[in-house]
Structure 1
Amino acid sequence: MPLYKTITPDSQTVVKIWKISESFDDLMQSVNLKPKSLERVLGMKSEMHQRGFLSVRCLLKAYGYEDVDLSYDENGKPYLKDGKYISITHSFNFSAVIISDAITGIDIEKQRDKIGVIAHKFIDYEFSYLNENTIDYVNKLTVIWCVKESLYKLFATPGLSFKQHCLVIPISDNEHETIAWIDYEDKKYRYQVQFLEFEGFTCAYAIK
Structure 2
Amino acid sequence: MGLVYLRELNSETKLAIWRIEETADELLSRLQLDEREKARLESLGKGKRTLHWLATRVLLRYLLKTEDYIACPSDDNGKPFLPDYPYKISLTHSFDYAGVLMSTQGECGIDLEIVKDKVLRVKEKFLKPKELAFIQDNNIEQLYACWCAKEAVYKLQGNKGVSFLEDMTILPFQYKPQGIMTLLLRKERKTQFFQVYYEKFQDYMLGYVVADEK
User: Is the TM-score greater than 0.5?
Assistant: yes
- Tell me which residue corresponds to 1:20: 20
Q: What is the aligned partner in structure 1 of residue 110 from structure 2? A: 106
C-alpha displacement of 1:156: 1.7
Deviation at 1:42, TM superposition (A): 2.3
Deviations 1:1-32, CA, capped at 9 Å, x for gaps: 51111111121111111111111221121222
2: CA distance, partners of 1:67 / 1:153: 24
Tell me the secondary structure at the aligned position of residue 171 of structure 1.
coil
Is 1:29 the equivalent of 2:29?
A: yes
Q: What is the percentage of aligned positions where both structures have the same residue?
A: 28
Q: TM-score, normalised by structure 2?
A: 0.89
More deviation, 50-59/1-10: 1-10
CA displacement at 1:145 relative to structure 2: 0.5
Query: Which residue in the other structure is 2:163 paired with?
Result: 161
Whether 1:85 and 2:88 are equivalent positions in the alignment is: yes
Q: 1:186: how far off?
A: 2.5
Count residues with an aligned counterpart. 205
Q: Secondary structure at the match of 1:68?
A: coil
Instruction: Report the alpha carbon displacement of residue 67 of structure 1 after superposing the two structures with TM.
Output: 5.3
Moved over 3 A (4+): 65-68
Q: Contact conserved, 1:60 with 1:67, CA < 8 A, in 2?
A: no
What are the ranges of 5 or more consecutive residues in structure 1 without an aligned counterpart? none
Instruction: State which drifts further: 183-192 or 167-176.
Output: 167-176
- Asked if the contact 1:177/1:192 (under 8 Å) is kept, the reply is yes
> CA separation in 1, counterparts of 2:115 and 2:69?
30
Would the alpha carbon gap of residues 152 and 18 (structure 1) be closer, same or farther in structure 2, given more than 3 Å must change? same
Instruction: Identify which range, 37-46 or 158-167, moves more after superposition.
Output: 37-46
Q: Distance in 2 between matches of 1:27 and 1:129?
A: 43
Kindly indicate whether residue 150 of structure 2 is the aligned counterpart of residue 123 of structure 1.
no
Q: Which runs of 5+ in 2 are unaligned?
A: none
2:182 counterpart residue number: 179
RMSD of Structure 2 on Structure 1 (CA): 1.6
SS in 2 for 1:189: strand
User: In 2 relative to 1, CA 61–165 (structure 1 residues): closer, same or farther, beyond 3 Å?
Assistant: same
Note if contact 1:143-1:195 (Cα within 8 Å) is conserved in structure 2.
Answer: yes
1:70 aligns to what SS in structure 2?
A: coil
SS at match of 1:139: helix
